[in-house]
Amino acid sequence: MSDLFSLQDKGVVITGGAGILCGTIAEDLAAAGAKVCIADYDEFRAHELAKSIEAKGYFALPIRLNVLDKKEIQEAFVCALDSMGRIDVLINGAGGNKKEATTSEELSFFDLPAEAVRSVMDLNFMGTFLPCQVFGKYFAKEKRGNILNISSMSAFSPLTKVGGYSAAKAAISNFTQWLAVHMCQTYAAEIRVNAIAPGFILTQQNRFLLTDEKSGQLTQRGRLILDHTPMKRFGTPEELCGAVRWLLSEASKFVTGVVVPIDGGFNAFSGV
């Protein structure tokens, strides 16, 4: 079983790799023996995480990357390939929401700035689509490869307030299924495309929605989420790592086109 789940020497590129969720995944994959490329718009955080990983004796390559710039993606691909020797996995972790694209008592749906909603759509969906084009072309040539996208609970059922984010994540789930079929049918059955859909994990991106900015206590929305989560708690970034290892290893070699919820039962619960 250890061989089946092995990630030893696999080359893994993670966009948004310096973020809380993908940074935790990067550390776990490096500890499992993978070579990780931390590609992130925040160059400083990417270098800091890489230094932390290297200090533990593992391989980490930091690269500054704007996932909406195809030329930068291509340059990052070349750099990662030259440094790691091979690329086996692309994890599309770049994404997130904006307060300016979120409805509230102060900001109605009718007043949401188009540019804010468009930026959320672009960052999440096009920020997944464009890297898939660049790295997918390499996988097609090699007749092997593994793409893991990051979806969301809001892709299954849209969450209130975050209309643009929900639509973007739903697009990622749909695109994951489409690309899985396309790569298998057109290029090679050994190219797999899957996604994970994290449940509610407190990060800087959602903290203002789930906890009060001043008191740190649960907001009404935060309490409602826990009421609809059978496990009655928020998740931790570390709890994503097991599913990620499974989807990136030979243990899941007959799995493609799936979106795996990691959510404490939230998606399974009807509310009654």
Positions marked active-site: 165
Q: 45, 238, 245: which is closest to 146 by C-alpha?
A: 245
Contact 236, 264 (CB under 8 A): no
Residue in this structure with the two tokens 């230094």, named with its chain if needed: 51
Q: 45, 99, 92: which is closest to 207 by C-alpha?
A: 99
Residue in this structure with the two tokens 């086109």, named with its chain if needed: 257
Q: How far is CA 49 from CA 42, 60, 70, in A?
A: 11, 8, 24
Strands ordered across the beta sheet of 35-40: 60-64, 35-40, 11-15, 89-92, 145-150, 191-198, 259-262
Q: Which three-class secondary structure state does DSSP give residue 125?
A: helix
